[in-house]
Chain A
Amino acid sequence: MFDYETLKLIWWVLISVLLIGFVITDGFDMGVGTLLPVIGKDDDERRIMINSIAPHWEGNQVWLVLAAGAIFAAWPAVYATAFSGFYVAMMLTLFALFFRPVGFDYRSKIADPRWRTSWDWAIFTGSTVPPIIFGVAFGNILQGVPFILDEFLRADYQGSFLDLLNPFALLVGVFSLCLFVLQGSTWLQMKMEDEIRARARLVTLIVAPVAVLLFALAGLWLANGIDGYVITSALDTSGPSNPLLKTAELQPGAWLANYELHPVTMLAPVVGLLFPLFALLASIFNRSALAFVSSSIAQFGVLLTCGISMFPFILPSSINPSHSFTVWDATSSEVTLNIMTITAMIFLPLILLYTSWGYFKMFGRIGKTYLAKYKHSAY
């Protein structure tokens, strides 16, 4: 249907869309989880907060599951190398994610305060650790990852878990957490009443400027202190996916090349910088829905900035840059990409449709009256 080159590009876009879908939707329910012990003062308040995401978190989490599945199917070598290379980090993410489904579902089943407090911290951990690790992962990918390939394309990762925790990556990790909290706090502004809403507003007022600051800092660091990667040989963009066929090297400032080449892409970082501020302004004027939408657009801008800076690289190798995975030599075959493109064209619109219907049906603020009415069936 499409030619191979176009398909490769489509899947770069689709995987970006899935990741953006994840940070926007699962972003707010993870943000709520992080804020649970911070602004939920007693059990009732925490229950109200959890119940604002109760009908949605399960569907939201599928964005993450699907993003991982799509990376497996569209960029199998990237999935293999990143997941096995970041082994300990991936396991920690997984363990943190364990806490969420059980935490949400089991917390309300028993009234004992110790039981509930334990699950509060479980939900907090499950919602706070993944955003930090995702940020750290992106921070490392931007700097290149220490792996090489042998002649049979078996990847060998030569770094360690502690190497991942370098200053730049940690900065991105904290920034990522800020974005998720921003998303969660604007959601709570929109869904809560009275005091919780006021406290969520306060969180937005604090976190939004911090997010802008960290984004700017990470951008300046990336531009001046971190070398990007460039392809230095001919590369057949319609050719078979063999990353060993090209050569590539490190070059200072290379991660800015795309912005010079196509100035319109500058919009992504600009959106990433401005929209947290719009969320801030909207919150000052108590326009909570607008704040939530602004925050969501900010997530979009930030993720796209990361993708565009590296394009066409997906997973650069710091040991041998020529072994890096790019959009052009790390994808699945033409047949597979075609099949999945057709499936995505049919089902992604359907998903958006019924997801929106679900949000529409559960529309509105919830508070003490909701909890009183559904004492035995709510989370």
Chain B
Amino acid sequence: MDDIVDLSRFQFAMTAMYHFLFVPLTLGLAWILLIMESLYVMTKKEIYKDMTKFWGKLFAINFALGVTTGLTMEFQFGTNWAYYSHYVGDVFGAPLAIEGMMAFFLESTFVGLFFFGWDRLSKLQHLAATFMVALGSSMSALWILVANAWMQNPVGAEFNYETMRMEMTSFADVVFNPVAQVKFVHTVASGYVAGAMFVLAISSYYLLKGRDMAFAKRSFAIAAAFGTAGILCTILLGDESGYEVGDVQKAKLAAIESEWDTHPAPAAFTVIGLPNQAEQRTDYAVKIPYALGIIATRSLDEEVKGLKELLDEHEVRIRNGMIAYGLLEKLRAGDETPENIAAFEAAKIDLGYGLLVKRYAENVVDATEEQIKMAVDDSIPNVAPMFWSFRIMVGSGVFMLFVFLFAFYQSASNKIGSNKTFLKVCLYSLPLPWIAIEAGWFVAEYGRQPWAIAEILPTHMGVSSLSLEQVWFSIIAIASFYTVLLVIELFLMFKFARLGPSSLKTGKYHFEQLENQFEPIQESK
């Protein structure tokens, strides 16, 4: 890693993946808090209020870091990806600003009332505040994912040579981007799974320790139901259907599958194998007939394009893009004849492919055949990391499906806690949602390479004009801060999770009864 592009990519990947350790739990736990508090308002049983408050305490520890690391994301487009910000800010910035107005304000204002308004608000008002937190966080995800989906499949925008940037032509197209819709459902539902697994695992811990049973069983049951719904949504409404549209999404799908050649429909699904990028083939592939075609196209008669065919298409577009680049240079130099404008407008759809060459040839129009070849080879992601991350994600997801289904079956048949082994499985499944989610983001974002904005702006063009020292400074500083913060966060999380509802100091729960040697108090009225 010796250039600004690699360093900036590393910093972005590091900060974004770190940020997304906290986001999913916020997304899921907020709704679980709402369910618990709704039960409190409906049944008037204090135990549900205690549940809301206790899981709310853990929610707060997580939320603080979510907010902290979100600030980095807000700054980072400008600090490290300045040309990106200029080039696509007109389209990409709008959903971010709307997210602030519509969602983040809502979530942040009401989260204060959630924690400190218990005695200042009526029961219903407080419930409404909790609802606003949950709604705000999911809406927030919606707008961020609209922005992200536009990077994967940039619809509703056009390049304007006068302003030298992408400009929005249809806001509706940007919002109703098909990629945005599947991404939203898939990502938010996976957050719900993270929230549910968190509650399920920690409740199992109390059940294993045999303490605060009523509290733990109720929490377990809520998590089991919510998690079952969440994991079903995540798997059934998976992201793959969004891989149908747009060239880069297709390359991603082919890379996930290590699908080098286009096969007649419906394509087979490679369960496992060893991708071989140099030879453009997959060694030792084990395949399931028809499965890929059905997963990717939801049909039996549409074909899934292979990487070799995509590379051939890219070469054609790169050569066109070089012509577009030459015309753009003329227009920017003031040679705005109607012929030049018309020719550029006709060719500009491939301008982004022309920019791919800029990595190897400063003067794009004069690129050698060898440089063009390098740009073409670069125009698809590395297959092996994609292939494996995807399988890690799916494997974790399927495992969690069984965990939640069994947990749900147990709570439905009133057998929670009857099987110690299963409680241990639940406890040690705790990291799975995070593993699956980070792997999933890796597939989505690494799979987008070499593009920052698919087919429009190569990643290497997007960086700021910075010095290596500046970026090293920020990477080292952020990594140090984040490490310290993570240690503190995990320390507090473990401390309060172990302490359980006793941390509320109501006098009703395990450790306080031990300390005070009180007669056990009835847990619920």
Identify which of A56, A91, A156 contacts B79 (C-beta below 8 A): A91
B160 to A240, Cβ gap below 8 A? yes
Indicate if A237 sits at the interface (CB-CB under 8 A).
no
Indicate if A37 sits at the interface (CB-CB under 8 A).
no
Indicate if A62 sits at the interface (CB-CB under 8 A).
yes
Identify which of B97, B167, B474 contacts A66 (C-beta below 8 A): B97
Number of interface residues of A (CB under 8 A): 72
Return the chain B residue nearest A335 by Cβ.
B168
The CA-CA distance from A83 to B83 in the complex, in Å, is 11
A72 to B77, Cβ gap below 8 A? yes
Indicate if B65 sits at the interface (CB-CB under 8 A).
yes
Indicate if B425 sits at the interface (CB-CB under 8 A).
no
Q: In angstroms, how far is the closest chain A Cβ from the Cβ of B128?
A: 10
A88 to B473, Cβ gap below 8 A? yes
Indicate if B131 sits at the interface (CB-CB under 8 A).
no
For A256, list chain B residues within 8 Å (CB).
none
Identify which of B68, B98, B505 contacts A340 (C-beta below 8 A): B98
Indicate if A282 sits at the interface (CB-CB under 8 A).
no
Chain A positions 159 through 199: 1 when the CB is less than 8 Å from some CB of chain B, otherwise 0? 00000000000000000000000000000000000000000
Indicate if B494 sits at the interface (CB-CB under 8 A).
no
For A121, list chain B residues within 8 Å (CB).
none
Identify which of B60, B77, B83, B113 contacts A55 (C-beta below 8 A): B113
Chain A positions 69 through 99: 1 when the CB is less than 8 Å from some CB of chain B, otherwise 0? 1101110110111111001101101110110
Identify which of A54, A62, A110, A336 contacts B108 (C-beta below 8 A): A62
Chain A positions 325 through 348: 1 when the CB is less than 8 Å from some CB of chain B, otherwise 0? 000000011011001100110011
Indicate if A153 sits at the interface (CB-CB under 8 A).
yes
Indicate if A225 sits at the interface (CB-CB under 8 A).
no
The CA-CA distance from A83 to B99 in the complex, in Å, is 20
B164 to A242, Cβ gap below 8 A? yes
Segment of B84-92, B297-305, B390-398 engaged in the interface with chain A: B84-92
Segment of A208-216, A292-300, A355-363 engaged in the interface with chain B: A355-363
For A59, list chain B residues within 8 Å (CB).
105, 108-109, 112
For B176, list chain A residues within 8 Å (CB).
none
B163 to A101, Cβ gap below 8 A? no
A66 to B101, Cβ gap below 8 A? yes
On whether A151 and B333 interact (CB within 8 A), knowing A58-B109, A98-B68, the answer reads: yes
Segment of B244-252, B277-285, B464-472 engaged in the interface with chain A: B464-472
The 7 closest A-B pairs by CB, nearest first: A76-B89, A83-B78, A73-B93, A59-B109, A84-B464, A66-B100, A84-B82
Indicate if A102 sits at the interface (CB-CB under 8 A).
yes
Indicate if A106 sits at the interface (CB-CB under 8 A).
yes
Segment of B114-122, B196-204, B337-345, B436-444 engaged in the interface with chain A: B114-122
Identify which of B94, B108, B115, B473 contacts A91 (C-beta below 8 A): B473
The CA-CA distance from A152 to B505 in the complex, in Å, is 62
B117 to A152, Cβ gap below 8 A? no
The CA-CA distance from A109 to B478 in the complex, in Å, is 24
Identify which of A97, A151, A153 contacts B71 (C-beta below 8 A): A97
A343 to B465, Cβ gap below 8 A? no
For A65, list chain B residues within 8 Å (CB).
70-71, 74, 100, 104
Q: In angstroms, how far is the closest chain B Cβ from the Cβ of A69?
A: 4
A98 to B485, Cβ gap below 8 A? yes
A79 to B105, Cβ gap below 8 A? no
B112 to A91, Cβ gap below 8 A? no
Sample of 16 more A-B contacts, CB < 8 Å, known A77-B86, A377-B118: A54-B116, A59-B109, A61-B67, A73-B94, A80-B85, A87-B470, A94-B72, A102-B489, A153-B163, A240-B160, A333-B168, A335-B169, A348-B101, A355-B109, A361-B113, A362-B112
A58 to B160, Cβ gap below 8 A? no
B75 to A94, Cβ gap below 8 A? yes
On whether A156 and B120 interact (CB within 8 A), knowing A83-B75, A83-B79, the answer reads: no
A106 to B164, Cβ gap below 8 A? no
Indicate if B20 sits at the interface (CB-CB under 8 A).
no
A109 to B492, Cβ gap below 8 A? yes
A336 to B168, Cβ gap below 8 A? yes
Identify which of B79, B111, B477 contacts A84 (C-beta below 8 A): B79
For A54, list chain B residues within 8 Å (CB).
112, 115-116
Indicate if A155 sits at the interface (CB-CB under 8 A).
yes
For B329, list chain A residues within 8 Å (CB).
151
For A240, list chain B residues within 8 Å (CB).
160, 162-163
B80 to A84, Cβ gap below 8 A? yes
B80 to A58, Cβ gap below 8 A? no
Chain B, 115-164, CB within 8 A of any chain A CB: 115-118, 120-121, 125, 132, 160, 162-164
B492 to A73, Cβ gap below 8 A? no
- The secondary structure that dominates the A interface is helix
The CA-CA distance from A100 to B60 in the complex, in Å, is 14
Indicate if B518 sits at the interface (CB-CB under 8 A).
no
Q: In angstroms, how far is the closest chain A Cβ from the Cβ of B171?
A: 5
For A109, list chain B residues within 8 Å (CB).
61, 492, 495-496
For A347, list chain B residues within 8 Å (CB).
101-102, 105
B82 to A80, Cβ gap below 8 A? yes
The CA-CA distance from A332 to B160 in the complex, in Å, is 12
B75 to A242, Cβ gap below 8 A? no
On whether A56 and B112 interact (CB within 8 A), knowing A70-B100, A80-B83, A91-B477, the answer reads: yes
The CA-CA distance from A59 to B481 in the complex, in Å, is 24
The CA-CA distance from A233 to B330 in the complex, in Å, is 24
On whether A66 and B83 interact (CB within 8 A), knowing A152-B164, A376-B504, the answer reads: no
Identify which of A106, A151, A340 contacts B64 (C-beta below 8 A): A106
The CA-CA distance from A219 to B85 in the complex, in Å, is 34
**21 examples of A-B residue contacts, CB within 8 angstroms:** A58-B67, A58-B109, A70-B97, A72-B97, A77-B89, A80-B464, A83-B82, A84-B79, A87-B464, A87-B470, A93-B75, A95-B478, A101-B67, A155-B82, A242-B163, A332-B89, A343-B98, A347-B101, A347-B105, A355-B105, A358-B113
The CA-CA distance from A218 to B476 in the complex, in Å, is 37
B79 to A333, Cβ gap below 8 A? no
B65 to A72, Cβ gap below 8 A? no
Identify which of B101, B117, B168, B477 contacts A362 (C-beta below 8 A): B117
B97 to A61, Cβ gap below 8 A? no
For A69, list chain B residues within 8 Å (CB).
74, 93, 96-97, 99-100
Q: In angstroms, how far is the closest chain B Cβ from the Cβ of A96?
A: 10
Indicate if B185 sits at the interface (CB-CB under 8 A).
no
For A335, list chain B residues within 8 Å (CB).
167-171
Indicate if A204 sits at the interface (CB-CB under 8 A).
no
Return the chain B residue nearest A347 by Cβ.
B101
Indicate if A5 sits at the interface (CB-CB under 8 A).
no
Return the chain B residue nearest A363 by Cβ.
B120
A361 to B91, Cβ gap below 8 A? no
Chain A, 100-156, CB within 8 A of any chain B CB: 100-102, 104-106, 109-110, 151-156
The CA-CA distance from A100 to B69 in the complex, in Å, is 12
On whether A351 and B112 interact (CB within 8 A), knowing A102-B68, A154-B465, the answer reads: no
Indicate if B106 sits at the interface (CB-CB under 8 A).
yes
Return the chain B residue nearest A126 by Cβ.
B68
For B505, list chain A residues within 8 Å (CB).
375-376
A93, A351, A358: most-surrounded residue (chain B CB, <10 A): A358
Return the chain A residue nearest B97 by Cβ.
A73
Chain A, 219-235, CB within 8 A of any chain B CB: none
Indicate if A241 sits at the interface (CB-CB under 8 A).
yes
Q: In angstroms, how far is the closest chain B Cβ from the Cβ of A214?
A: 28
